[in-house]
Amino acid sequence: MNAQKFRLREILGATLADPDKYVIIGMRHGEKEAGSGDVSLTDHGRKQAGAMLRYLNKEGFCPDIIAYSVAVRTWQMSVLAASLWHYDITKIVGEMRFHFAALAEQLFPGNPRAVLEEAAQIKEAGGTVAKAMEMSVFAGLAGAQVMEGILTLATAFRGVGGLRCGIFFSHSPLLECAAVDEEHTPYCLGECDAILWVVKWDGKLRQNKLISSHYIKAVMPYVINV
């Protein structure tokens, strides 16, 4: 854990020293109540979320934008983050590009949870995002969708001076499909696991681009509960 903390602080410092770079963190929700519907976080899930958010705060992260994937449990994650960072909850952004239900239904008509069965096969075959890109059409499309959402958040930074960091909460374990470091990023994140993306503004092309990503393991024990 100490090595991870040092590295995270180092990455944040180096990134934010460059005025053309931004930090976007995507985090999976904490433990949820039983059931497959739009359910809430459990008490343990709230504790997981609080521990991870306090860790990010201690390492120097403070979001200018908070977004969520339009689910009860990710809204609850957003509210916890807003409370910690004194963020106006009326400004929390709902972002459907961090929600993969429609994409899963499109690829697996009538059985969208088949994507989770596919994920289990990928984990057995190596369990990295790189392996997922080899084996899964869904992973590639999900990655493009998440990337679009991240770049949309980063574009908002260009329009308002001083905005450098954002965080979003997803109720899918597959937000890591947009990882730049595919070889070292696990596929199918656990509860409160996160990915940090560094985004850079390209002045010549007049657009943002993802230049690196870093996996951040949750600071409390979790179980895979999708």
Domain boundaries, the chain: 22-216
pLDDT by 10s per residue, the chain, length 226: 445 655 899 999 999 999 899 999 999 999 999 987 899 999 999 999 999 999 999 999 999 999 999 899 999 999 999 999 999 999 999 988 888 877 888 888 888 778 888 988 998 898 999 999 999 998 999 999 999 999 988 888 776 667 899 999 998 778 899 999 999 999 989 999 999 999 999 888 888 999 999 999 998 865 444 4
Third-level CATH fold of 22-216: Rossmann fold (3.40.50)
Q: What is the 3-state secondary structure (H, E, C) of the chain?
A: CHHHHHHHHHHHHHHHCCCCEEEEEEEECCCECCCCCCCCECHHHHHHHHHHHHHHHHCCCCCCEEEECCCHHHHHHHHHHHHHHCCCHHHCEECHHHCCHHHHHHHCCCCCCHHHHHHHHHHHCCCEHHHHHHHCHHHHHHHHHHHHHHHHHHHHHHHCCCCCEEEEEECCCCHHHHCCCHHHCECCCCCCCEEEEEEEEECCCCEEEEEEEEEECCCCCCCCCC
pLDDT recorded at residue 139: 92
pTM of the model: 0.91
pLDDT recorded at residue 226: 40
